[in-house]
């Protein structure tokens, strides 16, 4: 999954090297907040996530720091890089709560989408978080349609959409293998109806052909076959069906 680990708004790159003598310790006592922020950016660029986290937390404890919205988004990205997705999402949400009108807010919105998507578990587990990620990413894609942020959110929404379809497909296969055909058909047909744009639709049609043939529903098998070959002729299951193979 693509991540946004480095702030698109990095500035002052030419001056970062001047801070290399500050050492790797965790204390920034006596330093200007702006200098500590630059240390955080340098640590982030070098993927020294612990040092970056300490630096951004330090400047966020400084009252009146002008770049607090950016610092908080960067803190969220550092936590994301450390796979602390829940904490990252909390930081992004604080940006939206406190700086909704700031130009950094769209990046915080995308960060929430990314964090939710990253929390999505393996397909065999409960997919409640995947469903939540799909809803939130879809909303962000709509809010920022026509922008790179909107496109990124839409990509993640599509991944969650397909993952939920895959979950239904895997449930269908579970019952299919055990010859519980009515339950299998219910999941395959539900997938086709609820997620018609998913890459799993051709596979669901293929399995419906095999079940229908097995239980003697020849008319249904022919209908599913025509749809699979007519609408998804270049798909792997359509080619598999043409060869008369098994999944």
- Of residues 247 and 145, more confidence is placed in 145
HEC letters along the chain: CCCCCCCCCCCCHHHHHHHHHHCCCCCCCCCCHHHHHHHHHHHHHCCCHHHHHHHHHHHHCCCCCCCHHHHHHHHHHHHHHCCCHHHHHHHHHHHHHHCCCCCCHHHHHHHHHHHHHHCCCCCCCCCHHHHHHHHHHHHHHHHCCCCHHHHHHHHHHHHHHHHHHHHHHHHHHHHHHCCCHHHHHHHHHHHHHHCCCCCCHHHHHHHHHHHHHHCCCHHHHHHHHHHHHHHCCCCHHHHHHHHCCCC
pLDDT in tens, 108-129: 999 999 999 999 999 999 999 9
Task: State in words which class domain 1-119 has.
Answer: mainly alpha
Mean pLDDT of 67-81: 97
> Is 157 within 8 Å of 191 (Cβ atoms)?
no
Q: Is the pTM of this model over 0.75?
A: yes
What's the CA gap between 227 and 219, in Å, rounded? Answer: 13
Q: In the chain, where are the structural domains located?
A: 1-119
The token pair at 89 is: 């999402």
With 0-12 / 13-18 / 19 or more C-beta atoms within 10 angstroms meaning exposed / middle / buried, residue 97 is: exposed
pLDDT at 126: 92
pLDDT greater than 60 at residue 14: no
Average pLDDT over all residues of the chain: 89
Mean pLDDT of 181-205: 96
| CA 33 to chain centroid | 33
pLDDT in tens, 36-56: 999 999 999 999 999 999 999
- Of residues 16 and 151, more confidence is placed in 151
């Amino acid at each position: 999954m693509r991540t946004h680990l480095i702030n698109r708004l990095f500035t002052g790159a030419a001056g970062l090297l001047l801070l290399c003598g500050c050492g790797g310790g965790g204390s920034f006592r006596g330093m200007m907040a702006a200098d500590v922020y630059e240390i955080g950016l340098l640590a982030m660029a070098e993927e020294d996530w612990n040092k970056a986290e300490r630096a951004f937390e330090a400047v966020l404890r400084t009252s009146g720091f002008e770049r607090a919205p950016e610092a908080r988004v960067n803190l969220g990205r550092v936590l994301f890089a450390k796979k602390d997705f829940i904490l990252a999402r909390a930081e992004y949400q604080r940006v939206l709560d406190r700086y909704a009108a700031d130009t950094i807010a769209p990046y915080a919105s995308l960060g929430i989408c990314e964090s939710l998507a990253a929390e999505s578990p393996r397909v065999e587990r409960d997919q409640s978080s995947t469903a939540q990620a799909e809803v939130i990413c879809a909303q962000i894609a709509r809010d920022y349609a026509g922008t790179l942020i909107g496109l990124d959110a839409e990509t993640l929404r599509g991944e969650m959409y397909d993952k939920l379809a895959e979950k239904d497909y895997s449930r269908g296969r579970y019952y299919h293998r055990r010859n519980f055909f009515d339950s299998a058909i219910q999941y395959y047909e539900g997938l086709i109806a609820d997620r018609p744009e998913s890459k799993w639709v051709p596979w669901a049609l293929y399995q419906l052909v095999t079940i229908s043939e097995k239980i003697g529903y020849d008319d249904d098998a022919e209908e599913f076959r025509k749809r699979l070959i007519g609408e998804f002729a270049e798909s792997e299951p359509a080619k598999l069906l043409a060869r008369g193979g098994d999944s």
